[in-house]
Amino acid sequence: MRLKDKVALITGAGSGIGRESALLFAREGARIVVADINEAGGQETVARILEDGGDAAFVRADVSRAEDCQRMVAVAEERFGKLNVLFNNAGIMHAQDGDAESTSEEIWELTMRINLKGVFLGCKYGIPALRRAGGGSVINVASFVALLGAATPQIAYTASKGGVLSMSRELAVIHARENIRVNALCPGPLRTELLMKVLDTEEKRQRRLVHIPMGRFGEAREIAYAALFLASDESSFVTGATFTVDGGITAAYVTPE
């Protein structure tokens, strides 16, 4: 088991990448703290882990609130005795997030609170717990749009993920001598509820797909396997990395036929 005896805290684990990662990490031996603002989804993830013979606890957390982030880390240490893996996965992609002219300040601020501040707060309270455990792995979800512009305008989302990428690099340098690794996971377009709500017409989906050399959307479980590598000791010399899992979208120059 690749995560035997490890404790992992995963935000946004009530659905999508977070849920697939929680289920996978548990199968690989980790005890899981499932954190999500969606209580029903989070409890369902916990139930599935328990049914599969794993161990997990749910904590309701709005990652934009310091007290919630502090509490989810406390649950990990109080319930399981330590924290080894912090997976800052929670995020939003708002349907009204467009270009600079059309995006409201409210949508901008909401996106920044969850996508960027949420990662900052997770690290603020999670990194001391990793230090207490003797080190560990932080995985922050950025995006391929942190590396290039999106074909469909989403200015707040893109800016927030760029911030996550830059913050991850700095944290990696700051904490490298403490046996704390920090990496940014950059998924490409995925067939998740989050993206499909934005790409809500066939025309929008095809506009995105034409840029992906593999010609399809990724699946949440494919990102979960990438996160598993970063969470495990197999990536012990990997920190400050931009870990891109995108079907080749950031490598493409000429749009494929």
Cα–Cα dist 30/82, whole Å: 12
**Is residue 255 very low, low, confident or very high in pLDDT (cuts 50, 70, 90)?**
low
In a domain, 85, yes or no: yes
Give the pLDDT confidence of 184-243 residue by residue, as tens digits.
Answer: 999 998 887 777 777 778 777 777 787 889 988 999 999 999 999 999 999 999 999 999
Total residue length of the chain: 257
| 73 occurs within a structural domain | yes
Name the active-site residue from 125, 157, 225, 253: 157
249 assigned to some structural domain = no
- Domain containing 208: what range? 7-243
Averaged over 69-94, what is the pLDDT? 97
Give the angle 115-174-139 at the CA atoms, nearest 5°.
40
157 noted as active-site residue: yes
pLDDT band at 256 (very low <50, low <70, confident <90, very high): very low
Give the chain's end-to-end CA distance (angstroms, integer). Answer: 42
Between the CA of residue 213 and those of 206, 242, 252, what are the distances in Å? 13, 20, 7
CATH number (domain holding residue 148):
3.40.50.720
Q: How many domains does the chain have?
A: 1
Q: What angle do CA 232, 162, 147 make, to 5 degrees?
A: 85
Is residue 18 in some structural domain? yes
Q: Is residue 248 part of a domain?
A: no
Average pLDDT over residues 10-29: 98
Q: What is the pLDDT of residue 151?
A: 74
CA distance 171 to 23: 27
Q: Is residue 86 part of a domain?
A: yes
Is 255 contained in some domain? no
Does 85 have pLDDT greater than 70? yes
The pLDDT > 70 percentage for the chain reads 98
Nearest alpha carbon to residue 119 among 92, 97, 89, 146: 89
Q: Rounded distance, CA 165 to CA 146, Å?
A: 7
